Chains A and B, each alone.
Chain A
Amino acid sequence: MALETTTHDLEEAVIKFAGDSGDGMQLTGTQFTTNSALFGNDLGTFPDFPAEIRAPIGTVAGVSGFQLHFGSKEIFTPGDICDVLVVMNSAALKSNIRNIKKGGIIIANTAGFDAKNLKLANMTSNALEDDSLTNYTVIKIDVTRMTREALTDIQLGMKEKDRCKNMFVLGFLYWMFNREMDNTIKFLNDKFGKKPEVLEANLRVLKAGYSYGDTTETFNTRYKVEKAVMPSGTYRSIMGNQATALGLVAASKKSGLPLFLGSYPITPASDILHDLAKYKSFGVKTFQAEDEIAAITSAIGASFGGSLAVTTTSGPGMALKTEALGLATVLEIPLVIINVQRGGPSTGLPTKTEQADLFQAYYGRNGECPIPIVAAQSPSDCFNAVYEACRISVQHMIPVILLTDGYIANGAEPWRFPKESELEEIKIEFAKPMAEGEKFMPYARDEKLSRPWAIPGTKGLEHRIGGLEKQNITGNISYEPENHEFMVKLREEKVERIANYIPEQKIDSGPSKGKLLVLGWGGTYGALKAAVRELNEEGFDIAHAHLRHMRPFPKNLGEILNNYDKVLIPEINNGQLVKIIRDKYFIDAMAYNKIQGLPFFKSELMDKIREILK
């Protein structure tokens, strides 16, 4: 018998699913995300998983989490702390207790709080039984037992039955948030269509979870988060690495250049390789190289041959590629290098995010070796950012570094994706064949200082290039002292001139002059925007600008910086952009840094800004 329930309307909610690596929390989170997106919420997600594939079961090291922030208003981040925390065992509670709001709801699988699990999580007392959770509403469900009971007459092993328990939680949450379950039912049908027992088991447990909410007297509060008002159009959900892969295919199509990816597997960049490997029907060639160096140098070879050549990596791999970056710079050929940043140095924090490779992108090579840098600011923005990186690279005959990070690479958000016809053409022209007697000049230049892209197979253009210093125009080897200085300055000027071909810097939120400019780059976009907007609503005279072009900077950046009394540069590193800005514009920019492998919370940014303006 269903009881009367009250439904609370919420503007936004943050749910975190946490459990053991094998508990299927990523899948559960993704399903709830898709459900919310299809319903019409705006949203942001953040998966948080261990570096170990199968850390010991039940331990804190093995906890895998998925955070989802959805709302009827604009959502810019996966949320600071959660309203609802789902924990499948003691370790999941232990590692996430800091991240739940006072008064928030904890849904706990009591089977994960037996003596064995408490011990594995190094917990001396059962938090569900003592009074340590008095500040929260705790919903205790023996998910394991309920799941087994729902499946008594199903011919499956106990292990396989237990694997369905995430569906119980999902079903319960669908009930709690007043949701239809169609998308998950369809998903399960697609996934387990060939295994009828497994399909039946999952469907039954999903529905059991929903009915449990519906029929159990204890729960009489449900929530509703209405549709968001978003620009009209067709949307899909997108993760950053997916968007990067799509942007590369789009750039290949719109430039007419075949796409070549040379890559070596590395967390958190590998998904770009995985996705592109699927896109063979677009003629994409993916080459899983023997190491990071072969990954970039094979791409250099492909670029020499006239491909849109790309290499993808993360910090440690980037370190291995640096000599080849110098080669690409001296060769003056197109190449897109994508660094999905993670915590460093060395192996560091492979599955955690950081913005600490900006200096590496700026300075990390031998000799004077300037390379243009573009940064992506959100999951869907990876598409635009990589498209821009490709455009600059092929039109200016220059390697370009794209910086994304683990946070936006694995985060998801709704994306009003473009139509092919809406994407700007990337115009390029290879050097034309030459007649007998004409001499080809491989380092002749146009107004961009870019040299001809002369690909093998073109008659009369036979020429040799290499890593030794070049004479301008002829490309011949030259050790002349003045020539070297000339070429160093020329390569620098070539990078600087890109500023003539990129958009001016815009203010994202807030007034064009005022007390404080919050200047950011990369994956901090959502948190900075949310913080500045909220403070604007409170009446603070502050603005937010976010850089796409990190090198060269937009031409009007200096002017913008001077329009504010103070400039604050928050970064997920120990202060890198702030030093470059101070160096270039001689301003007293302030740093605000977080180096915990985690993104900024809106609240901590707001606190910092309030403190500055006190």
Chain B
Amino acid sequence: MAETITATNGEVLTAKDFATDQEIRWCPGCGDYSILKQVHTILPQLGLKQEDIVFISGIGCSSRFPYYTETFGMHSIHGRATAVASGLKAARPELSVWIVTGDGDGLSIGGNHTIHLLRRNFDMNVLLFNNEIYGLTKGQYSPTSPENKVAKSTPFGSIDHPFNPIALALGADATFVARSMDRDPAHLQNMLLRSYKHHGSSFLEIYQNCNIFNDMAFESYTEKSTKKDEALFMVQGQPLVFGANNEKGIKLDGFKPVIVNLEEGASKDDLWIHDENDMVKANIISRFFDHVDMEGHLPRPFGVFYQTTRPTYEDMMSQQIAQVITAKGEGKLDKLLAGSETWVIE
């Protein structure tokens, strides 16, 4: 995937063109560095002019992202990146708009805007960095922290039930829903490209390690020793298999997913074939959300859960305006100001 595409203005861009002169202020070892690198790697491959790209963020560690990316950018206020971006995209549909947000920014204080963005289906890419903690405010539990999480604000463990961001996005009728992780650069790049290529709102949840306040929260999925057994990589048209030698698979027993072992007599032909265009299957697989400590838990899926096409908000907005102009002609201010009834005083 390291191809380079010539931008429409004939310039060839590289990842270096997207670095800014600002000193990066994330903690050393933060997962954000990897995400930044993968984004800078894929941006030159999109065939876009640098000045046509905009990154908009809210508040939180992840939201520093625009300062480190040489495009147009706005570091807005807490939770509102999705709303700022919606206005920009409505006004300027031709721009490539990216939203960088986090689990606190996008699912707690800005949860409302996130779901409304997804239902409206603006053609924008939401990169939700999920580290299951509040990092910038130094370590409180977040709306994605698991139950019993001991954090600064929950010394006896959290009693909050967490959001399942993928299920939430599906519930909001998102047209593209995917998950990736900071520690798998190739997968993340692929998901970023898929997000970009999707015409409509793309919701990409990225597991991101906060090595200061929530280190190793995703280690089961990212560490070599456990990754193959705990992470399930979904590939379109392929059976759902995982395990060290891809010896395990998922079979649907009615609507109930069960783990079967291919080395113990199960047939590959009986396995669930991943179909990212199937909403029913997407809803089932989005619920593979058990904690790794749970007996008989299902593996955590990565890849594209669901993709469909639906007209985008900005396209419909422009079409409606064009239709009215075609039907009525361009508005004449003098006529508008006069209204329907006038009288003359001599």
Contact = CB atoms under 8 A, between A and B. Distances in A.
Interface of A: 34, 37-38, 40, 183, 230-238, 246, 249-250, 253, 258, 260, 262, 279-285, 287, 289-291, 293-294, 297-307, 309, 323-324, 326-327, 331, 417-420, 455-468, 476-477
B76 interface: yes
B346 A304 contact: no
Contacts of B71: 462
A306 B112 contact: no
20 contacts: A234-B338, A234-B343, A260-B87, A279-B336, A283-B325, A284-B321, A287-B86, A289-B86, A290-B83, A294-B86, A298-B86, A300-B87, A301-B87, A309-B87, A327-B76, A331-B74, A459-B49, A462-B72, A467-B75, A467-B77
Given A37-B343, A281-B331, A457-B52, A299 B336 contact: no
B75 A466 contact: yes
Given A280-B321, A420-B337, A234 B344 contact: yes
Contacts of A419: 334, 337
B87 A464 contact: no
Contacts of A324: 77, 80
B246 to A, nearest CB: 44
Contact of B77 (A37, A284, A327): A327
A183 B51 CA distance: 56
Given A281-B330, A420-B333, A302 B90 contact: yes
A323 B91 contact: no
Contacts of B27: none
A281 B91 contact: no
B169 to A, nearest CB: 16
A291 B80 CA distance: 11
Contacts of A455: 92
B342 interface: yes
B91 A477 contact: no
B74 A465 contact: yes
B321 A294 contact: no
Q: Give the size range of B's interface with the partner.
A: 35 or more
Contact of A253 (B59, B333, B343): B333
Contacts of B76: 297, 300, 327, 466-467
B207 to A, nearest CB: 26
Contacts of B22: 476-477
B321 A290 contact: no
Interface string B62-77: 0000110111111111
| 7 closest cross-chain pairs (CB), A and B | A466-B75, A298-B87, A301-B87, A301-B88, A282-B331, A294-B83, A281-B331
Given A294-B83, A298-B84, 14 more contacts: A234-B342, A236-B342, A253-B333, A282-B336, A298-B86, A301-B85, A301-B86, A306-B91, A327-B76, A456-B51, A456-B92, A457-B51, A466-B66, A467-B77
B327 to A, nearest CB: 8
A144 B101 CA distance: 63
Contacts of A38: 341, 343
B87 A302 contact: yes
Contacts of A232: 344-346
Nearest to A463: B72
Contacts, number: 203
A418 B337 CA distance: 8
A151 B51 CA distance: 70
B88 A236 contact: no
A280 B325 contact: yes
B177 interface: no
Contacts of A464: 20, 66-67, 69, 72-75
Contacts of B337: 246, 250, 417-420
Contacts of B72: 304, 456, 461-464
B113 A281 contact: no
B116 A468 contact: no
Interface of B: 20, 22, 49-54, 56, 59, 66-67, 69-77, 80, 83-92, 94-95, 112-113, 116, 317, 320-321, 324-325, 328-331, 333-334, 336-339, 341-346
Contacts of A262: 87
A289 B92 contact: no
A38 B76 CA distance: 51
Contact of B95 (A260, A285, A456): A456
Contact of B341 (A34, A253, A281, A293): A34
B87 A297 contact: yes
A283 B328 CA distance: 12
Given A38-B343, A297-B84, A291 B112 contact: yes
Nearest to A421: B334
Contacts of A417: 337-339
Nearest to A298: B87
B331 A279 contact: yes
Contact of A294 (B59, B75, B113, B342): B113
Contacts of B56: 301
Contacts of B324: 280-281
Quick one: which of A234, A303, A305 has the most chain B CB within 10 A?
A305
A459 B344 CA distance: 52
A290 B66 contact: no
Nearest to B115: A290
Contacts of B80: 293-294, 297, 324
Contacts of A250: 333, 337
Nearest to B334: A420
Contact of A297 (B51, B52, B83, B339): B83
Contacts of B54: 456
B341 A236 contact: yes
A460 B73 CA distance: 13
Residue of B339, B344, B345 contacting most chain A CB atoms (<10 Å): B345
A234 B342 CA distance: 6
B196 to A, nearest CB: 17
B332 to A, nearest CB: 8
A461 B331 contact: no
Contacts of A34: 341
Which residue, of B87, B320, B325, B346, has the highest number of chain A Cβ atoms within 10 A?
B87
B50 A293 contact: no
Contacts of B70: 462
Contacts of A283: 321, 325, 331
Contact of A235 (B53, B321, B329, B343): B343
A420 B59 CA distance: 44
Contacts of A467: 59, 75-77
Q: Taking each of A253, A280, A301, A466, which has the highest tally of chain B beta carbons within 10 Å of its own beta carbon?
A: A301
A285 B116 contact: no
B308 to A, nearest CB: 22
Contact of B75 (A230, A456, A457, A468): A468
Given A304-B84, A457-B95, A460-B51, A246 B344 contact: no
A37 B67 CA distance: 59
Contacts of B92: 305-306, 455-457
Nearest to A42: B345
Contact of B116 (A281, A294, A309, A461): A294
A237 B51 CA distance: 47
Nearest to A434: B51
A281 B325 contact: yes
B84 A300 contact: yes
A152 B320 CA distance: 47
Given A234-B338, A456-B51, A464-B67, A280 B320 contact: yes
A162 B163 CA distance: 55
A372 B341 CA distance: 35
Contacts of B85: 301
Nearest to B81: A297
Contact of A305 (B20, B51, B88, B112): B88
Nearest to A289: B83
Nearest to B54: A456
Of the listed residues A250, A326, A327, the one surrounded by the most CB atoms of chain B closer than 10 A to its CB is: A327
Contacts of B321: 280-281, 283-285
A460 B85 CA distance: 21
A302 B330 CA distance: 22
